[in-house]
A = this chain, B = another copy of it.
Amino acid sequence: MKQNSNVPAFLSKLWTLVEDSDTNEFITWSQNGQSFLVLDEQRFAKEILPKYFKHNNMASFVRQLNMYGFRKVVHVDSGIVKQERDGPVEFQHPFFMQGQDELLENIKRKVSSVRPEEAKVRQEDISKILNNAAKVQAKQDTIDTRLFTLKRENEALWREVSDLRAKHSQQQQVIRKVPLRTEPLKRGEISDDIVIYDITDNIEDVGVKTHVSPENPDNTSAERLKCLFFSIVLQLETKGMESFRNVETFPESTEDSRKSDQQLVQYTTYPLMAFLDGDPGNLISETQTSKTNEADNLLESSLDSQPTQSKLVRLEPLTEAEANEATLFYLCELAPTPLDSDMPLLDN
């Protein structure tokens, strides 16, 4: 057989040993040539093995055989303990066959999978990993529980909301059957109606938000919004006048106050331009007078002192209607200003 093949020494030697007819007394092929027999184990070990290997132990020989995947062929009479001589020992390997030495290179020596130290380290790692996994799973259980709790809570919330909604509907049904209030608001009630301010603030809030929107380099949108704020303010003002209107219809008041109340001027002037320019505006308000020109003067002066564009409206002596009109007019003055611009409200 080839000596330069990559077949390990043991297999080469074994092959030679079994093939060699000189050693047929101790080791030889079996009948079918698919296994080999060790006929006299004792003498084979002590006389033959040392000629080929560095030992004379059958055990070492067998260990090598096992190392290369050979298996012992068990005989049916193996259990019988014979006094003199045991039966032959037989080993086989799928690639160890008489006359086919080229198969030897298919026989691979087994390698120990792990090194001792590393194995220990690995074992520690594995236990770490397992501990970790246990923790993770425990935590997942916890999370699971919490999720479930939340889910139930949400369901409860839905029930709550549904319940509230039902109650609301019930109330709504009742409310629809309620006659509305007949008498006008009392003055005191109205006086508390400071809705205007609050709404204006609200609007301003929106306006600010819009104004600072960064994506759109076109500030025009923001400006348009401001224009709309105008409108809103107008609306608010209108409402304010309504309130006043109620006051005016206050015939139930005492004569004295009534008379003097007739001249009540109501208006609400808003620092609209200031709002638009970002300048803190001049909020001019007037109260109830006895038709003196104080209010007018006040208005005028404040208007005059205003250096920029917004023309203000003169309000003097006004009837209720006039006051309303004036207020509107004032707003009208402000409103059209943007109209000269060339930016459509809805463009993109």
Contacts and interface: CB of A to CB of B under 8 A. Distances in A.
A335 interface: yes
Contact of A181 (B210, B249, B275): B249
Contacts of A276: 225, 228-229, 232, 335, 345-346
Contacts of A180: 174, 177-178, 245, 248-249
Given A321-B322, A328-B284, A345-B227, A199 B197 contact: yes
Contact of A296 (B188, B304, B315): B315
B198 A195 contact: no
A278 interface: yes
Given A119-B114, A157-B161, A319 B332 contact: no
A6 to B, nearest CB: 10
Given A226-B345, A274-B338, A327 B325 contact: yes
Interface in A238-273: 238-253, 255, 257-258, 260-273
B164 A165 contact: yes
A220 interface: yes
A344 B50 contact: no
Contacts of A334: 231, 271, 273-274, 280, 332, 335-336
Nearest to A232: B233
A255 B253 contact: no
Contacts of A52: 76-77, 79-80
11 contacts: A112-B115, A119-B122, A146-B147, A163-B204, A164-B165, A189-B193, A210-B211, A235-B235, A287-B321, A312-B333, A342-B344
Q: How many copies does the complex hold?
A: 3
A106 interface: no
Contacts of A73: 3-4
A11 B326 CA distance: 116
A341 B348 contact: no
Contacts of A184: 183, 246
Contacts of A318: 293, 295-296, 299, 321-322, 324-325
Given A113-B115, A176-B193, 12 more contacts: A121-B126, A122-B126, A133-B133, A194-B195, A225-B345, A226-B277, A281-B332, A299-B316, A323-B325, A325-B326, A337-B346, A338-B346
Given A158-B157, A225-B224, A249-B261, A343 B336 contact: no
Contacts of A247: 246
Contacts of A265: 286-288, 320, 324
Interface in A29-74: 42, 46, 50-56, 58-59, 71, 73-74
Contact of A320 (B189, B245, B283, B337): B245
A27 to B, nearest CB: 14
B257 A251 contact: yes
Contacts of A119: 114-115, 118, 122
Contacts of A210: 211, 221, 224
Contacts of A4: 71, 73, 92
A285 B273 CA distance: 18
